[in-house]
Amino acid sequence: MTTITIRGAGDLAFPVHSGLFINNQFVPAISGETLDTTNPATGNHLATLAAAQKDDVDAAVEAAQSALRSTWKTTSPPGRGQLLHKLADLFERDAVELATLEAVDAGILLADSTHLHVPQAIEVLKYYAGWADKIDGQALEIPNGMAFTRRQPIGVCAAIVPWNAPLMITIWKLAPAIAAGNALIIKPPELCPLYAQKLAALVLEAGFPPGVVNILNGYGHQAGQAIAEHMSIRKLSFTGSSPTGRLLLKASANTNFKKVTLELGGKGPSIVFPDADIENALFWTTLGITANNGQICAAGSRIYVHSSIYNDFVKEFSKRSARAVHGDPLLPDTTKGPIISSAQHAKILSYIKEGKSSSARLLHGGDSLDGNFVANTAFADVGDNDTIMKEEIFGPVAAIAKFETESEVVGKANDSEYGLSAAIFTNDVNRAHRVAAAIETGQVTVNSWGTLNANTPFGGVKQSGFGRDMGVEALDEWTTTKVVKFNILHTQNDAPSSRL
C-alpha cells in the first residue's frame, strides 16, 4: 500500500494498493516485475505497481476457475445483481477519489471524470444489476416434443481496457460480464492504472467472492499477450487500436478460438446541413474534436459542412475551438489537459505536420505547447484523400470540408475504413432518418455528438470492430445459448428417421 498525495486538489491523499488483485488479495507479481505510472501533465512519478507476467495470468485464471466451480456457481442471479448494486453504491460514495485518480493519472479533466465518467459507470452498474435476474431463454415447440434455451455464462473471461476513458470502459465490460455469471480478468492500461487499484479495493469491499474479479496491471506485450493466448480464457473483450485488435484475433485463432469482441478505432463524420441549428451544431462539433484532446474513438474528426453555410461556419468554429486553457486537469479553470504520453504527443504532431504539407488550409493551432500539450488544431478545405481526412489521429485535430448534396456527403462519410460513430445536424426529420440509415456506423447521433446511455448499445462496423458494449445487446456478448430438447414420443417406432 502506498499513499498518493494529489496537489492542486486540496492536497488530497489517497491510499493505493500496489499489488495485483488475484483471488481477493493484493499480491506482488511472481517475478517481482513492476511498472511506474506518471502524471502526464507534469511528468512526476505517481506510483510503482506490480506488473503481471504469464505466471500471474495463470494464477488469476486458476482463481477464476475455482470461483466458477464453487461460490460463484451457486450465487443466484439476484445475488449477482445485489453485488453490482453494492459496487454502484461504493462508486457514489467514493466518486471524488475515483475521479481524481483518473484525472491525475490519465490527464482527463477532473470535471469530465466527475460529471461524465464516474456517473456513467454508476449508471451502467445499476442497469446491469437490474438485468442479472432477467437473462432468460425461450420455450420452443418442435415436432414430437418441446425444447427450451438457456443463456449461460461463458466462463473465464477477460477484458483489456484502453487509457482514454479507463474507468468508464472497464465498467462497460465488468457489469454485463458479472450480471451474466462469468468470472472476469481485467487488464487495465499500463499508462494509467491507478483507477483500477481503487476499483479492486471496492470489489473487495462490496463482497464479491474470491476469484470472480481479478485485476492485473501489466504491459500489453506481456500480460495482454498472455491473456490473449491463454487456453482457459473463453472470451476476450478489447477496446483499443485496430492493429492490436488484429493481433488479438490472430491469438484467438492460433489458440482456443476464444470469443473476441472488439471496439476499435474511428474517424467519425459530423455532417452539418444548411437547415441545422447552427449554434447547436457549433457547440457539438467543437466538443466532438476537443473533448479529452480528441483522444476518443468516437471523435468527430471529419466535419462536413454544406457549401451555403461553409465559410461562416468555419470562421466561427475556428474562433470557438481555438479557445482553450491548458494545464493541470485538476484545476477548475483548465479546459485542456495533457496528451497521455510523449509517444502519443509525437504521433499527433506528425499528423499536424502532414496536414501543413497538404493543400488544406490551417485555421488555427498546429503547435506543440509546453510539456505533453498540443494546441487545438483545425484544417479547412481538406481533400478526401488527404492523410488527416483518412487516418485516425487520436488528437485534437479537425479536418473540415464542404459538400453540396445529401448523396454526396453520405458517400464521403462512408468513404472510410472505420465505422464507429457519426453525427448529423439537421432540423429535417425525414432527412435525419434517411441519412442515419445510409451511414455505415454503429452509432448515429442527431443534433448532438457522442452521447452515451447504459441502455443503448455502443460499437462499430468495418474496421471499427464488432460486438457491442452496453444495452441488452451486450449480454449476448457475455453469454452462450444452450438448447435442451425433450422427446415426448411414446415408442421408439414413432421416432423420425432423420436424426444426428
Q: Which residues are catalytic?
A: 263, 297
> What angle, 0 to 180 degrees and rounded to 10, lies between the N-to-C axes of helices 95-106 and 77-93?
70
Integer-rounded Cα Rg, in Å, for the chain is 24
Helix (H) or strand (E) holding 56: helix 54-69
Q: What is the DSSP annotation of 13-55?
A: EEEE--SEEETTEEE--TT--EEEEE-TTT--EEEEEE---HH
Helix axes 118-131, 166-179, angle to 10 degrees: 10
Tell me the H-state helices in 230-341.
242-254, 278-290, 310-321
73's CB contacts (< 8 A; 6+ apart) are 67
> SS3 letters for 62-130?
HHHHHHHHCCCCCCCHHHHHHHHHHHHHHHHHCHHHHHHHHHHHHCCCHHHHHHHHHHHHHHHHHHHHH
Residue 332 buriedness (CB in 10 A; 0-12 / 13-18 / 19+): exposed
HSE-up of residue 78 (Cα within 13 Å, Cβ side): 0
Greatest CA separation found in the chain?
84
∠ CA 324-327-328, nearest 5°, is 135
**Residue 481 class from Cβ within 10 Å (0-12 exposed, 13-18 middle, 19+ buried)?**
exposed
State how far the Cα of 84 lies from the Cα of 96, in Å rounded to an integer.
19
Cα gap 355→362, rounded to integer Å: 8
Give the integer Cα–Cα distance in Å for 391 and 294. Answer: 13
Say how far apart CA 52 and CA 239 lie, in whole Å. Answer: 19
Residue spans of beta strands (DSSP E) within 216-268: 235-239, 259-263
Using the Cα atoms of residue 405, residue 410, residue 411 and residue 415 in order, give the sign of their dihedral: positive
With left for phi above 0 and alpha for psi between -120 and 50, is residue 467 left, alpha or beta? left
For residue 350, give the H/E element and its range. helix 342-357
181: burial class by Cβ within 10 Å (0-12, 13-18, 19+)? buried
Grid coordinates belonging to 21: 488483485
